[in-house]
């Protein structure tokens, strides 16, 4: 996921690389949102805050920057951030933990309520301080961090209320239970014992804990340790080099130490590994980009949430890893404690597997994320049956007109109506795979009608690019695009580059041979 420190080249021989995880279908994000799994999150909920402003001078009493406070931002942290990510991806979430009765608790409750997260079973302890992590920043740099929180474990009456809350929510048979244990006291032994007694009623148990070995007796289905947490569980020092190989080498010992669970091991800049609890290969997902650790706040929470929801959908082991890594990749590009929503996850998965045909709902979800980023959408369409130089030139030129290029392919039935019963030569899935492999193409979809007008109405592109020997006035789509606020651009035409001519030459060669 994110970079903690530079990783020098390995000085010792490594194991053979693990197989790369195949891309997960972008449609999986939409499936999760439509299914809306119910998830119970148990753990340490805290408040993340950023206090920021300009710093123009050093203090007279000490050589430190004087920050002129201008803005305070708050976000759910810890278990509350796991819950926020689950909700953003479409889950129905209940959060159980211990809150204080101070002003910070009210801020956290408000942030959770705005995200639709249930907190009715979270226990308020009078006089307890809410855990808060505050960061002082200026010019995008963190100057200091100061934490506050409870001085001791929950009181006996608070623990009893926590156990009662766990019982009540397990009675509702949630699709998954996620443990977010940061060692701050929200999960005392009595809560663990109650979960242990009712373990057979829990359909899916996912554990994200600083001490993953402490949960082994509950036989979790999935654990998600960082490299440091995995090393702690084994009682060894974390490696500085060759980290993926270290994970593979310690697969068996780590699996046994955490109760036989599937281990999703996060490796920051080196991505993540799936170390299966049962039969199956070790898989590796690469991180999309290396970012400073200061920009990776909460990425592990996002990873856990996405992995849990993918498991709820009976995704394959590889899809679970790919979805979790993709979601984490989204949030490391965002400032502060961020979440990954359905649109962002769809866009990330679609980018990783550009040759897959997106449904219109999934396409719109992905474009929503692009537009949130201010991207200019270019749309073009065609059969693209036998890809040739003219197609490639047109698509490259179209991509230069904006930030994201959507290519809509005529369906097989549509190609047959337009080109004749002997076409297409290549079916839709094959055409999409080839077109999507071109560097300039970002998203691929299809349409069955003879005209893409309905798609244009749905997508509302800033630019409609059309290749061929046309003028805008000749295109029936032009009035639609202009009514939607877009513009039409006719791309350069390369003569003597025709799919029909290529197909005819091939058939002539077959006849003469």
pLDDT digits (tens, 9 = 90+) for 360-382: 999 999 999 999 999 999 999 99
In the Cβ-directed half-sphere of 319, how many Cα atoms lie within 13 Å?
15
Determine the length of the chain. 513
Q: State residue 293's pLDDT score.
A: 56
Both tokens of 59, joined, read 């203090």
Residue with the two structure tokens 């060894």 = 236
pLDDT in tens, 337-350: 689 999 999 999 99
How many angstroms separate the first and last alpha carbons of the chain? 56
Query: Is 199 exposed, middle or buried (CB count within 10 Å of its CB: 0-12, 13-18, 19+)?
Result: middle
pLDDT at 151 over 90: no
Both tokens of 24, joined, read 């997960």
pLDDT in tens, 102-140: 999 999 999 999 999 999 999 999 999 999 999 999 998
pLDDT at 501 over 70: no
CA dist., res. 240 & res. 10, Å (int): 9
Residue 238, C-beta contacts closer than 8 angstroms, at least 6 positions apart: 227, 228, 230, 231, 246
Q: What percent of the chain has pLDDT over 70?
A: 90
Query: Is 301 exposed, middle or buried (CB count within 10 Å of its CB: 0-12, 13-18, 19+)?
Result: buried
Q: State residue 9's pLDDT score.
A: 38
Q: Tell me, yes or no, if 439 is annotated catalytic.
A: no
Nearest to 317 by CA among 175, 222, 433: 222
Dihedral (CA of 258, 261, 267, 273) sign? positive
Parallel, antiparallel or unpaired: strands 377-382 and 404-410: parallel
CA dist., res. 386 & res. 393, Å (int): 14
Nearest to 155 by CA among 185, 196, 180, 133: 185
CB atoms within 10 A of CB 194: 16
Top mean pLDDT of 12-21, 131-140, 156-165, 420-429 is at 156-165
Cis peptide before 253 (omega within 30 of 0): no
pLDDT at 418 over 80: yes
Q: State residue 218's pLDDT score.
A: 96
Q: For residue 381, what are the β-bridge partners? A: 408
Q: Find the helix or strand (DSSP H, E) in which 465 lies.
A: strand 463-466
The domains found in the chain, sorted by start residue, are 27-352 (3.40.1190.20), 360-512 (3.40.50.620)
pLDDT at 321 over 80: yes
Q: Find the helix or strand (DSSP H, E) in which 73 lies.
A: strand 71-78
pLDDT at 157 over 80: yes
Q: Which of 301, 329, 341, 412 does the annotation list as catalytic?
A: 301
Both tokens of 418, joined, read 């337009």
CA dist., res. 306 & res. 361, Å (int): 20
Nearest to 177 by CA among 233, 144, 222, 141: 222
Alpha helices in 278-411 (DSSP H): 299-312, 317-331, 342-352, 360-372, 389-399
Q: State residue 7's pLDDT score.
A: 37
Give the 3-state DSSP-derived string for 1-26, with helices as H, strands as E and coil as C: CCCCCCCCCCCCCCCCCCCECCCCCC
pLDDT-based confidence at residue 79 (cuts at 50, 70, 90): very high
pLDDT-based confidence at residue 144 (cuts at 50, 70, 90): very high
Distances, alpha carbon 445 to alpha carbons 51, 308, 456, in Å:
44, 28, 12
Both tokens of 84, joined, read 């926020």
pLDDT in tens, 430-485: 999 999 999 889 999 999 999 999 999 999 999 999 987 778 888 999 999 999 99
């Amino acid at each position: 996921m994110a970079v903690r420190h530079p990783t020098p080249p390995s000085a010792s021989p490594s194991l053979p690389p693990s197989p790369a995880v195949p891309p997960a279908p972008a449609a999986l994000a939409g499936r999760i949102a439509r299914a809306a799994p119910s998830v119970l999150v148990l753990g340490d909920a805290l408040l993340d805050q950023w206090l920021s402003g300009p710093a123009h001078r050093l203090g007279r009493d000490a050589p430190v920057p004087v920050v002129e406070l201008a803005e305070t931002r708050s976000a759910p942290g810890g278990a509350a951030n796991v819950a926020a990510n689950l909700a953003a991806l479409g889950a129905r979430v209940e959060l159980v933990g211990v809150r204080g009765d101070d002003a910070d608790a009210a801020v956290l409750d408000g942030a959770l309520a705005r995200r639709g997260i249930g907190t009715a079973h979270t226990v308020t302890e009078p006089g307890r301080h809410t855990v808060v992590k505050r960061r002082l920043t200026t010019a995008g740099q963190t100057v200091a961090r100061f934490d506050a929180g409870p001085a001791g474990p929950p009181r006996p009456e608070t623990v009893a209320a926590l156990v009662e809350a766990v019982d009540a929510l397990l009675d509702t048979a949630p699709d998954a239970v996620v443990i977010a244990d940061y060692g701050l006291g929200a999960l005392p032994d009595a809560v663990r014992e109650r979960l242990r007694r009712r373990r057979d009623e829990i359909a899916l148990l996912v554990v994200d804990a600083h001490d993953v070995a402490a949960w082994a007796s509950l036989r979790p289905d999935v654990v998600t340790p960082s490299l440091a947490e995995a090393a702690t569980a084994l009682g060894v020092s974390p490696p500085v080099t060759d980290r993926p190989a270290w994970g593979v080498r310690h697969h068996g010992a780590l699996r046994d130490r955490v109760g036989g669970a599937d281990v999703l091991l996060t490796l920051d800049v080196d991505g993540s590994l799936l170390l299966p609890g049962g039969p199956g290969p070790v898989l590796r997902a690469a991180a999309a980009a290396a970012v400073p650790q200061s920009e990776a706040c909460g990425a592990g929470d996002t990873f856990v949430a996405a992995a849990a929801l993918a498991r709820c959908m009976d995704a394959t082991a590889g899809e679970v890893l790919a979805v979790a890594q993709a979601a984490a990749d989204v949030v490391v590009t965002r400032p502060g404690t961020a979440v990954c929503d359905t649109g962002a996850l769809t866009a990330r998965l679609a980018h990783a597997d550009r040759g897959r045909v997106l449904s219109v709902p999934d396409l719109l979800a992905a474009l929503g994320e692009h537009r949130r980023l201010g991207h200019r959408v270019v749309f073009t369409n065609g059969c693209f049956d036998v890809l040739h130089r003219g197609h490639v030139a047109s698509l490259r030129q179209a991509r230069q007109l904006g930030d994201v290029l959507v290519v809509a392919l005529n369906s097989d039935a549509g190609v047959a109506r337009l080109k004749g019963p002997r076409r297409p030569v290549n079916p839709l899935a094959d055409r999409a795979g080839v077109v999507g492999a071109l560097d300039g193409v970002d998203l691929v979809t299809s349409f069955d009608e003879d005209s893409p007008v309905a798609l244009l109405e749905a997508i509302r592109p800033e630019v409609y690019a059309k290749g061929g020997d046309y003028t805008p006035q000749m295109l029936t789509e032009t009035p639609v695009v202009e009514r939607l606020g877009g513009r039409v651009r006719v791309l350069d035409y390369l003569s003597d580059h025709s799919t029909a001519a290529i197909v005819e030459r091939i058939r002539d060669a077959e006849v003469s041979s």
